Amino acid sequence: MKQCVKAKLVLEDGTSFKGISFGARGENSGEVVFNTAMSGYQEILTDPSYKGQIVTMTYPLIGNYGVNAEDVESNRVFLEGFVVREASRIASNWRSQKSLREYFQENNIMGIEGVDTRALTKHVREKGAMKAVISTEDLNDESLREKAINSAGLIGRDLVKEVTSEHVYDWNDTGKYTVVVIDCGVKLNILRELVKHNCLVKVVPAGTSAETIMDMAPHGVLVSNGPGDPEGVPYLMNTVKTLMKQVPIFGICLGHQILALATGNSTYKLKFGHHGVNHPVKDLRTGKVYITVQNHGFCVKTDLLNREEIEVTHINLNDNTVEGIKYKKFPVFSVQFHPEASSGPHEAVYLFKEFIDLIKGNL
> Tell me, what DSSP letter sits at residue 338?
B
Is 224:254 a contact under the CB 8 Å cutoff?
yes
Known catalytic residue at 340: yes
Of 43, 80, 231, 340, which one is the catalytic site residue? Answer: 340
Residue 56 amino acid letter: T
How many CA atoms, within 13 angstroms, populate the side-chain half-sphere of residue 50?
27
- Helical (H) or strand (E) element with 43: helix 41-45
Phi, psi of 136 (to 5 degrees): -110, -5
Measured CA to CA in angstroms, residue 39 lies from 48, 184, 190, 226 at distances of: 18, 25, 19, 21
Torsion angle, alpha carbons of 34, 37, 42, 48, to 10: -50
- Helical (H) or strand (E) element with 141: helix 141-150
Is 179:222 a contact under the CB 8 Å cutoff?
yes
Neighbours of 319 (CB within 10 A): 11
Helix/strand/coil for 65: coil
Beta-ladder partners of 11? 132
Quote the CA–CA distance of 196 and 218 in Å, as a whole number: 17
Phi, psi of 310 (to 5 degrees): -130, 160
Beta-ladder partners of 303? none
Quote the CA–CA distance of 69 and 72 in Å, as a whole number: 6
Of 231, 253, 296, 314, which one is the catalytic site residue? Answer: 253
Helix/strand/coil for 200: strand
Q: What value does the CA radius of gyration of the chain take, rounded to a whole number of Å?
A: 20
> Tell me, what DSSP letter sits at residue 264?
T
Known catalytic residue at 166: no
Cα–Cα nearest to 61, from 34, 41, 32, 33: 41
Known catalytic residue at 314: no
> Tell me, what DSSP letter sits at residue 219?
S
- Give the catalytic positions in this structure: 253, 338, 340
